[in-house]
Amino acid sequence: MELSYKIFFIIPLQIIAMLAYFPIARKLKLYDVPNKRSSHKNITFRGGGVLIPISIIFYVVFYGFHHGFSIHYLLLGVMLVSIVSFYDDFKGSNPFFRLIIHFVSVGLIMMDINDDYKFSPFIIIIIAIIAVAAVNAFNFMDGINAITGLYVLVFFETVLCFHYKIEKIFEPNFIVVLIIAVLIFGFYNFRTKAILFAGDVGSVSLGLICVFYVLYLIMHTNNVIYLSMLAVYGVETGLTIFNRLIRGQNIFQAHRMHLFQDLVHATKLPHLAVSFLYALVQVIINIGMFYCIQKGFEGYLYLSYILILLIGLYIILKYKIFKHTEASNEKN
């Protein structure tokens, strides 16, 4: 299925849904109040990522479920994590319960993929654990203005490039509806002083969708190179968690130890500049990925090369920021 005119009927509904969210958020007191761990200074609405599941509902209404590309369980999984995540944004929920829901949702998206690919129970468990970790990485990384929105825009554009340049296997209308939802949300978030944050409902639902596409591409092509589409988030989240574990910290508590937080607070770079930098790095990686695919290079070699480069860059920047902060403290 190629792009259709129905998208133009969905866009006004998405805009209305976003505008309608503000009085609801005000009534429910869905505010994000800054604290010492926050990367923002103003009280801001949260949960704006609810536009993602709402846009999916609009998509189903206009396009139905049958597309030749199975996403039935993906849609169900996204709706499930969205409901739980929105409740978490509203009142907070038990972390263990949230984790169970994440595993159930990952299991659902794997049912879409497993229609064609069969794995042993052990392999499925390993894939599920990695997938849940990746979904949560999106939640952990959603800490400054525009970072989640720009990052997923790069991801979705990459999926569309694969569809149109390499193999037409996806449903592009679904991806475009999501891109438009992110852009509408971005109007309120891609700012120096954000009006709206995505919240768990946005970051987790988007993370689940991105993980689905990566898993599908890996299984469909038998090539791990597509893991590089999440390399920037993956490396930073993994190294940050490792850093916190060796310090004996609770990795589920809010903190300011991510590299992007250091870049904002220690070096005083603007939120948008840091978010754009992260997206740009991922764009460069994705361009390299397509080049390797076209030239027939081994995917695992490119992925290894990218991971080594990103780990090295992370360590170098962390060290320079540490020295910068140490020198500033000595002067004071």
Query: Residue 246: pLDDT above 80?
Result: yes
Query: In this predicted structure, what is the pLDDT of residue 3?
Result: 79
The larger pLDDT score, comparing residue 14 to residue 36, is at 14
Q: Residue 69: what pLDDT?
A: 62
Give the span between the Cα atoms of 261 and 267, in whole angstroms: 9
Q: Domain locations in the chain?
A: 7-331
For the stretch 316-331, pLDDT in tens is 999 999 887 777 766 6
CA dihedral 150, 60, 221, 105 (to 10 degrees): 80
pLDDT at 115: 55
- Average pLDDT over the chain, rounded to an integer: 90
Report d(CA 101, CA 86) in Å as an integer: 13
Average pLDDT over residues 65-84: 84
Binned at pLDDT 50, 70 and 90, residue 42 comes out as low
